[in-house]
């Protein structure tokens, strides 16, 4: 028996996506070739791009296909920084502390190598990005902010931040906003409509969104940067000049077709899946609370939160144990879960997201992320709940190691906005 409750890491390939890729792999043709085979490939590629654009609510020209979320985020953050600073000095970048490492490490690189001055925004207690703290950060050095980047749905705790309010702020201040929507697979982006209602235009406000195929049932290795037509960041990859000269490299028709098929299936089922996953998530949380007294639910699930929560993620702190012991014991029992993030060597790391939410060290220690997806069932949840009591008891017996959880503090020279920790 093997139960998979880690869909936020990657979710099984949807049959539609597999069929689309298999069909495409039977065919030959470089979409950039001039002959018939090239034109046919081009047709299939652009058809996939149009279908993706329809799901994302943007124009096809605004879909820049990439190798995935990490590349999209790097292309946006580095590209906008380079482009903006080539005109005049705008070293400030505004980033919430709970972003994915694809963002935080890119920001770190920009700070170390390109003269960026990051202003870090602490999260609210429920994991949301506090809009007023972003406003303060933007107001501190008007005219010197290169961009703002915000994760829409936090990939660890599942909290959904108010990107419309932040887009509006950015539009007013004339600053471009990039949104990391990699973990927001179940939400409708409505890119053009969202830009309209937030007053985003002329390169300010919402201009770029990173998405990834394998989080919605597509293959690993493909994603997109949704990029409005009024911006032109510097390119990360140079070469044949494909995709608005922003992302050179032979375009992968099979990946695009599979991504489009997965995205369409996810969008088609979004409404019914939302209710189904929320019910599974709540069943899981209620069960965990019943079986392990003192378990704490992190994020915005339940009553009393300003922010909304992802239907697919339950992030729980278990008292008196190390998460890696719990993860190990559940794995031995055939239940696969996550601690949210691991270092390169494979050690579960204390969650920088929980730390950014102001949680104590002990709460970060026993934290597990359980994430549901399109193949999740009640049986999965029940298998987890069946394995939990013994795993927790044993993990408690194994005890807390003497490890001092230092967390990943900001690099020297980073500015932290301490005032925003509680949000409003």
Any contact of residue 399 with other proteins (CB under 8 A)? yes
Give dist(CA 323, CA 365) in Å, integer. 6
Stretch of 21-29, 105-113, 219-227, 340-348 lying at the interface with other proteins (CB under 8 A):
340-348
* Beta-bridge mates of residue 309: 159
| Residues 161-190: x where in contact with other proteins by CB under 8 A, - otherwise, as a string | ------------------------------
* Beta-bridge mates of residue 211: 224
Strands 313-317 and 367-371, bridge-based pairing: antiparallel
Give dist(CA 97, CA 163) in Å, integer. 16
Please say if 343 is a catalytic residue.
yes
Q: Name the residue nearer to other proteins (CB basis): 115 or 334.
A: 334
Stretch of 235-243, 302-310, 352-360, 394-402 lying at the interface with other proteins (CB under 8 A):
394-402
Task: For the chain, state the CA radius of gyration.
Answer: 22
Q: How many residues bind other proteins (CB under 8 A)?
A: 22
| Residues 343-382: x where in contact with other proteins by CB under 8 A, - otherwise, as a string | xxxxxx----------------------------------
Q: Name the residue nearer to other proteins (CB basis): 161 or 338.
A: 338
Q: What is the token pair recorded at 293?
A: 């007294």
Give dist(CA 127, CA 129) in Å, integer. 7
Any contact of residue 82 with other proteins (CB under 8 A)? no
Residue 407 Cβ vs other proteins, minimum distance, rounded to whole Å: 11
Among 244, 276, 305, 394, binds other proteins (CB under 8 A): 394
Give dist(CA 75, CA 87) in Å, integer. 18
Any contact of residue 331 with other proteins (CB under 8 A)? yes
**SS3 for 221?**
coil
Q: What is the crossing angle of helices 323-332 and 378-398, to 10°?
A: 130
Catalytic residue among 58, 170, 321, 343: 343
Q: Name the residue nearer to other proteins (CB basis): 303 or 402.
A: 402
Which sign does the torsion angle of CA 206, 51, 213, 12 carry?
A: positive
Kindly list the residues in this chain that would bind other proteins in the complex (CB under 8 A): 324-325, 328-329, 331-332, 343-348, 394-395, 397-399, 401-404, 406
């Amino acid at each position: 028996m093997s139960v998979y409750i880690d869909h936020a890491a990657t979710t099984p390939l949807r049959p539609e996506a597999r069929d689309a890729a298999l069909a495409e792999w039977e065919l030959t043709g470089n979409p950039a070739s001039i002959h018939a085979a090239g034109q046919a490939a081009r047709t299939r590629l652009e058809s996939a791009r149009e279908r993706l654009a329809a799901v994302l609510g943007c124009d096809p020209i605004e879909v820049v296909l990439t190798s995935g979320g990490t590349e999209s985020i790097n292309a946006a953050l580095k590209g906008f920084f380079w482009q903006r600073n080539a005109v005049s000095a705008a070293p400030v970048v505004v980033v919430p502390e709970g972003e994915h490492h694809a963002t935080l490490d890119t920001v770190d690189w920009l700070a170390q190598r390109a003269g960026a001055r990051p202003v870090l925004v602490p999260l609210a207690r429920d994991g949301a990005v506090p809009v007023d703290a972003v406003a303060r950060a933007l107001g501190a050095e008007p005219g010197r902010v290169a961009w703002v980047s915000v994760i829409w749905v936090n990939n660890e705790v599942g909290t959904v931040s108010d990107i419309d309010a932040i887009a509006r702020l950015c539009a007013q201040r004339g600053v471009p906003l990039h949104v990391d929507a990699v973990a927001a697979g179940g939400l409708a982006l409505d890119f053009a409509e969202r830009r309209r209602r937030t007053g985003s235009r002329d390169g300010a406000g919402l201009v770029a969104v990173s998405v990834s195929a394998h989080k919605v049932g597509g293959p690993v290795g493909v994603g997109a940067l949704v990029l409005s037509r009024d911006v032109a960041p510097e390119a990360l990859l140079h070469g044949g000049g494909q995709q608005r000269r922003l992302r050179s490299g032979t375009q992968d028709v099979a990946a695009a077709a599979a991504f489009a098929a997965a995205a369409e299936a996810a969008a088609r089922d979004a409404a019914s899946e939302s209710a189904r996953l929320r019910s599974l998530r709540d069943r899981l949380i209620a069960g965990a609370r019943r079986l392990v007294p003192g378990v704490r639910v992190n994020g915005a699930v339940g009553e009393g939160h300003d922010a909304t929560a992802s239907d697919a993620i339950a992030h729980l702190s278990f008292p008196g144990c190390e998460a890696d012991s719990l993860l190990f014991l559940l794995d031995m029992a055939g239940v696969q879960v996550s601690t949210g993030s691991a270092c390169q060597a494979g050690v579960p790391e204390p969650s920088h997201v929980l730390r950014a939410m102001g949680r104590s060290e002990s709460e970060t220690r026993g934290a597990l992320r359980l994430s549901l997806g399109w193949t999740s069932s009640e049986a999965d949840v029940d298998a987890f709940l069946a394995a939990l009591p013994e795993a927790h008891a044993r993990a408690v017996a194994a005890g807390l190691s003497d490890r001092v959880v230092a967390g990943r503090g900001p690099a020297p020279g980073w500015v932290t906005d301490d005032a925003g920790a509680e949000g409003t």
